[in-house]
């Protein structure tokens, strides 16, 4: 399982690094694209199979955030309709968003940005 997680996460990072090095896309573009790809793979029913195969190698990547948003939105929609889509989306993704903000703030206090 560890080898599969390492191989999948390494392959995704390798592909993103190749795109970053050979295009004019910024890291923000790559991150947004990976999130959209995760949501698209979740829509197609593929991301759950990837998680079953790669385990933590698939859940630690930014593409999992897209998968999480899609899954939470669809669960809310099935439960409560269009309003459930938005309410469940925010409830399920809130912890990820808050932790990203908090950790970013803490790291800006610890490390100094380079020019």
The yes-or-no verdict on residue 45 having pLDDT over 70 is yes
Cβ of 74: how many Cβ atoms within 10 Å? 16
Q: Is 5 exposed, middle or buried (0-12, 13-18, 19+ CB in 10 A)?
A: middle
Average predicted confidence (pLDDT) for the chain? 90
Q: Which helix (H) or strand (E) holds 32?
A: helix 27-43
pLDDT of the residue at 102: 94
Lowest mean pLDDT among 26-35, 37-46, 83-92: 83-92
Read off the pLDDT band of 11 (50, 70, 90): very high
At 23, give phi and psi (nearest 5°).
-130, 175
Cβ of 88: how many Cβ atoms within 10 Å? 20
pLDDT of the residue at 26: 93
Our measurement of the distance from residue 67's CA atom to the centroid of its chain's CA atoms, rounded to an integer in Å, reads: 7
pLDDT of the residue at 96: 79
């Amino acid at each position: 399982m560890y080898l599969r997680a390492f191989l999948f996460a390494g392959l995704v990072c390798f592909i993103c690094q190749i795109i970053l090095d050979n295009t004019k896309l910024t890291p923000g573009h790559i991150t947004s694209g990976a999130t959209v790809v995760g949501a698209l793979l979740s829509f197609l029913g593929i991301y759950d199979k990837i998680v079953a195969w790669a385990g933590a190698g698939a859940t630690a990547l930014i593409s999992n955030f897209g998968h999480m948003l899609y899954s939470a939105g669809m669960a809310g929609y099935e439960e409560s309709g269009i309003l459930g889509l938005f309410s469940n989306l925010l409830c399920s993704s809130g912890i990820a968003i808050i932790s990203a903000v908090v950790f970013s703030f803490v790291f800006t206090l610890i490390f100094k940005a380079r020019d």
